[in-house]
Amino acid sequence: MKRVVFLLFALLLTTSVATASDVHRQLNEIRTYINTDPARALEELEQMDVALQSHSSHRKSKKEAALYAVLYTQAQDKCLIPHASDSLILSAVDYYSHRGRDKELRALSQFYLGSVCRDLGDDFRAVEAYLPAADGFRELSDHVMERRASQNIADHLFNQHLFAESREWYRRAYDCAVFTRDSLRMIMPLEGIAKCQMADGEWDASYDNYVTLLALSRAIDNPIGTALAAEQLSIITRRKGNAADALAYASLAESLRTGDDKLFPYYLKGQAYKALGQPDSALLYLNRCYGQTDNLYLEASATSALASLDSLSGQFESAYGHMQYYASLKETIDGSVDRVRMSNVLHRYELSQERRQTTRHYTILLYWLLFCFALVCFRYRWLKQHARKNDNSTLHFEEQLGACINQFMQSPWNNELSAIHLSRTRGFDAFPSERTANLQMELFRIFRPIVDELRQQSPTLSDSELTCLLLCRLGFSTYTQTICTGVTDTTIRSHKHRLRAKLAEPYLSLFKI
């Protein structure tokens, strides 16, 4: 019975693990084609969610739930389905915000949170989400997504009349498009830069950029970019006093637009005809766009132009009605713009980035200090061990030297040399060369380990210098050394001087040179 229960439990566990593994595999597979086939990805994700809900025992892990949230929101966004709630994507943002988790998915979750907030009409939260996404994509060198995030930030900033800041983000988006050599994606950022210049009163610079945009759009046969450039060139040329060119550009835009998109070219043609002194034609086109659009800016502009035409034609009551309507529209527009709040959003993010950068610098500094401390500790330990090893080596050498000295003290040579050393008279004859050689041979035999180590430490030591060194350590005077080696006391002093130069501690101290 126990065996059966165990097998059932093992089977259940295996099935559960296999199901979890299948979910993760399926999500990763969807991730590979979501950009090219978002409709299929959205259908697969919805079917997966239904299948998991029908099996209450099979639930997504936190990691799978976060990945599902990102992919589902991404698929909806690419299928142009408006987002109605931010609860799903917020769960992904929270999951990927923790350190050590997938940086690409962290940036994507922030990006699609911005898209959700955009659809919910909250420019401020959208920018708050897009800002870290743009920087995250930059760190990942994902220039395509960095361009998209930068473009969205710029659009929201422009809506809040922060034209200088908006221009910087349009420039960043344009640079990304140039880096990827995507001419099509250069159109919107370039148009954004030009319209910011126009908003700041830089008409000549704006005109040059719109001419560039028109040439680029025509070169790649892009009607949307061509229409955008033509519309704005119509405004600029009219302001410069060239109403005929303004009408030509407006007509070009009208020929490229369809449906409600023709309303703005109608307004531009109405303004051009007004500048040309053709009020009837102007009134015809302005009335075509009046009251037909949800674009408050276009509605307000058309209303103001109609009020001006009414005044010129003496229809003051109609002009007054149009001006009243214009005033209400302008109040609505002004109420939707909060430059201070959007500036605060940018300022808070800049401060957070500065704090993050400062924290990173302090962290790097701390790691360097820890590394240096560890290096110092290692060096100290090595020096201590090396000193201990040297002390042990010195102690061993000293013991060997003492043993050799004791052995020499037992030899006949010690008695003979001691007699010379202790004698009060100086009538001894110098040893013949053969006897000196025998003494040197005996010294080297008895002190062999000492001589070998000294030659290893200082290979330039001569036999005469070694003999002088050993006799000095044995305590024999300079006179005794002159007798037994057959050299002068000047030579002995010269040997000692060279020994001091060739030997280092602890040998100098041990041999008492």
DSSP string, 92-140: HHHHHTSTTS-HHHHHHHHHHHHHHHHHTT-HHHHHHHHHHHHHHHHHT
What's the per-residue H, E or C state across 315-369? CHHHHHHHHHHHHHHHHHHHHHCCHHHHHHHHHHHHHHHHHHHHHHHHHHHHHHH
Nearest CA to 52 out of 77, 22, 90 is that of: 22
Model pLDDT, residue 304: 79
Under a CB-based contact definition with an 8 Å cutoff, are residues 406 and 473 in contact? Answer: no
Nearest CA to 345 out of 125, 107, 108 is that of: 125
pTM: 0.68
Model pLDDT, residue 54: 59
Model pLDDT, residue 251: 93
Place of tokens 């009605």: 321
In whole angstroms, what is the distance from residue 221 CA to residue 184 CA?
Answer: 10
- Calculate the dihedral angle through the C-alpha atoms of 268, 272, 275, 280, rounding to the nearest 10 degrees: -90
CB within 8 Å of 261: residues ≥ 6 apart: 227
Under a CB-based contact definition with an 8 Å cutoff, are residues 111 and 145 in contact? Answer: yes
Model pLDDT, residue 398: 84
Place of tokens 């979501």: 34
Under a CB-based contact definition with an 8 Å cutoff, are residues 22 and 51 in contact? Answer: no
Listed by start position, the domains of the chain span 370-511
Question: pLDDT by residue for the chain (513 residues), tens digit each?
Answer: 555 444 444 444 444 443 456 788 899 999 899 999 999 999 998 888 777 665 555 566 888 889 999 999 999 999 999 999 999 999 999 999 998 899 999 999 999 999 999 999 899 999 999 999 999 999 999 999 999 999 999 999 998 999 999 999 999 999 999 999 998 899 999 999 999 999 999 999 999 999 999 999 999 999 999 999 999 999 999 998 999 999 999 999 999 999 888 888 988 898 899 889 898 888 888 888 877 667 777 777 777 777 777 676 677 777 767 777 767 777 777 776 787 888 888 888 888 888 888 888 888 989 999 999 999 988 888 877 776 766 778 888 888 888 998 998 998 888 888 888 887 667 777 888 898 899 899 999 999 998 898 888 888 889 998 899 898 888 888 888 888 888 888 999 999 899 888 888 777 787 877
Is 467 strand, coil or helix?
Answer: helix
In whole angstroms, what is the distance from residue 180 CA to residue 401 CA?
Answer: 79
Model pLDDT, residue 21: 65
Model pLDDT, residue 9: 45
